[in-house]
Amino acid sequence: MENQERKKRIFSGIQPSGELTLGSYMGAIKNWVNLQDAYECIYCIVDMHAITVRQDPAQLRRRSVEQLAQYIACGLDPQKNIMFIQSHVPQHAELSWILGCYTQFGELSRMTQFKQKSQQHADNITAGLFTYPVLMAADILLYQADLVPVGADQKQHVELCRDIAQRFNGVYSPTFTLPEPFIPKMGARIMSLGNPENKMSKSDPDGCVYLMDSPEEIRRKFKRAVTDSETAVRFDKENKPGVSNLLTIYCAATGKTLEEAEAEFAGQGYGVFKPAVADAVVELLRPIREESQRLMADKAYLQSVYQEGAQKAQRLAEKNLSKVRRKVGFVAW
Ligand code: TYM
């Protein structure tokens, strides 16, 4: 009976390659929190992904633990979810190697994120950056995840993961669950405040709101947010990308629909609208910032969470990986 009623499983992760942003909160973490009761959830701090571009070691260590504090502060309950640091579970790297042998060079060459990142880091285009989506596929398939809650930019990687799984299942026998991306209706792609044509990214401090920004900093960033020369607060992605992005942020922060938000600001200019968006974000992030700061003062607790998480994750991972080793023909020992 237990088996029949097994909750569906979720896996997702964020790179500790920078501070967490409002984009990753609205695109991913907010959904994680909503899903934690109905699903068996595994949420990871993907430090092995982060080193695909150069990281400062001390900063990477600090950010990995801070990210865990922020996951918890956002509302993820360590009692309900498995939360761990990717490098603590070496099975990810092993499965990644195996899956890399079932992934085509051409498939990886088509990945948008690889094309973008190899332009940004033209002096350091490593094999790791290229094979990054294989490691991500390993993350997901190692746990037989059914659902992967991510922002829109990760959809292509989840689709590749399905293709790899399907290929492996076809060559051997059904082994991996085919995962589905789970992308929010509101907030799947939060754009930069400074340049609403680009995605909000942790590497662009002015266009980006960090979860740990102070209320003053948040207000300053929204004040400078790019809008347009009209005055109407109206959702029109093509012609009003800045205002549309602010409306999306406002709705994701308050739970209102676009129609409700447009009605609320009808007849009012950006001078009223922009501070209102800033206020909504300040109130959304205030408890998260305060709780993170409190948790960061308790390193022993955070350590106990990631240690316990790694133990649980290793157990699940090893069970699946041992099947994979057998299927590909490795000698048991
Ligand atoms: P990463 O670390 O770039 O981003 C983490 C999550 O936040 C979402 N996100 C956004 N959503 C909306 N608007 C934005 N501006 C925005 N910026 C980021 C991302 O879509 C993502 O869900 N490859 C992944 C990390 C990863 C992973 C995994 C995810 C590694 N293994 C396995 C899921 C499952 C990445 O680089 O995300």
CB half-sphere exposure, 240, CA atoms < 13 A: 16
Q: What is the CATH number of the domain that holds 68?
A: 3.40.50.620
Q: Residue 197 falls within a domain, yes or no?
A: no
Question: Among all residues, which ones are annotated catalytic?
Answer: 117, 199, 202
- Which ligand 1 atom is the nearest neighbour of the CA of 191? 15
Domain shared by 43 and 106, yes or no: yes
Domain shared by 177 and 315, yes or no: yes
Per cent of the chain over pLDDT 90 is 96
Which residues neighbour 295 within 8 Å (Cβ) at sequence distance 6 or greater?
Answer: 69, 72, 73, 301, 302
Domain shared by 18 and 114, yes or no: yes
Mean pLDDT of 83-96: 98
Protein residue closest via CA to atom 22 of ligand 1: 150
Q: Residue 89 falls within a domain, yes or no?
A: yes
Helix 112-120 with 155-171: angle, nearest 10 deg:
120
Q: Residue 59 falls within a domain, yes or no?
A: yes
The answer to whether residue 4 scores a pLDDT higher than 80 is: no
Ligand 1 lined by 139 (C-beta under 6 Å): yes
- Which ligand 1 atom is the nearest neighbour of the CA of 135? 31
Domain shared by 255 and 306, yes or no: no
The answer to whether residue 1 scores a pLDDT higher than 80 is: no
The answer to whether residue 325 scores a pLDDT higher than 90 is: yes
pLDDT band at 135 (very low <50, low <70, confident <90, very high): very high
Mean pLDDT of 149-153: 97
Ligand 1 lined by 247 (C-beta under 6 Å): no
Protein residue closest via CA to atom 6 of ligand 1: 24
> Cα 249 to chain center, whole Å?
17
Q: What tokens does 152 get? A: 């829109």
Ligand 1 lined by 154 (C-beta under 6 Å): yes
DSSP class of residue 86?
A: G
Q: What tokens does 165 get? A: 């799984």
What digits encode the pLDDT tens for the residues 266-297? 999 999 999 999 999 999 999 999 999 999 99
Distance between CA 237 and CA 131 in Å, rounded?
33
Alpha-helix residue ranges (DSSP H) falling in 239-329: 241-254, 258-264, 270-296, 299-328
Q: Residue 200 falls within a domain, yes or no?
A: no
Confidence at residue 196, expressed as pLDDT on a 0 to 100 scale? 96
Mean pLDDT of the chain: 96
Ligand 1 lined by 161 (C-beta under 6 Å): no
pLDDT band at 206 (very low <50, low <70, confident <90, very high): confident
Domain limits for position 313: 2-188+299-328
Distance between CA 186 and CA 66 in Å, rounded?
26
Domain shared by 258 and 157, yes or no: no
Domain shared by 139 and 261, yes or no: no
Dihedral of alpha carbons 201, 207, 209, 210, sign: positive
Domain shared by 236 and 128, yes or no: no
| Number of structural domains found in the chain | 2
Domain shared by 61 and 174, yes or no: yes
Domain shared by 93 and 164, yes or no: yes
CB atoms within 10 A of CB 294: 11
Mean pLDDT of 49-58: 97
Q: Which of 148, 48, 134 is nearest to 98 (CA)?
A: 134
As to burial, measured by CB atoms within 10 angstroms (0-12 exposed, 13-18 middle, 19+ buried), residue 180 is: middle
Ligand 1 lined by 142 (C-beta under 6 Å): no
Q: What is the CATH number of the domain that holds 219?
A: 1.10.240.10
CB atoms within 10 A of CB 97: 12
The answer to whether residue 188 scores a pLDDT higher than 60 is: yes
Domain shared by 239 and 308, yes or no: no
Q: Residue 287 falls within a domain, yes or no?
A: yes
Domain shared by 173 and 255, yes or no: no
Domain shared by 7 and 57, yes or no: yes
Q: Residue 64 falls within a domain, yes or no?
A: yes
Measured at the alpha carbon of residue 52, what is the angle toward residues 153 and 105, in degrees to the nearest 5?
Answer: 70
The answer to whether residue 2 scores a pLDDT higher than 70 is: no
pLDDT band at 6 (very low <50, low <70, confident <90, very high): confident
Q: What tokens does 125 get? A: 């285009």
pLDDT band at 45 (very low <50, low <70, confident <90, very high): very high
Ligand 1 centroid distance, CA of 132 (Å):
13
Q: Residue 33 falls within a domain, yes or no?
A: yes
Q: Residue 116 falls within a domain, yes or no?
A: yes
Strand 40-45 with 82-85, pairing: parallel
DSSP class of residue 19?
A: -
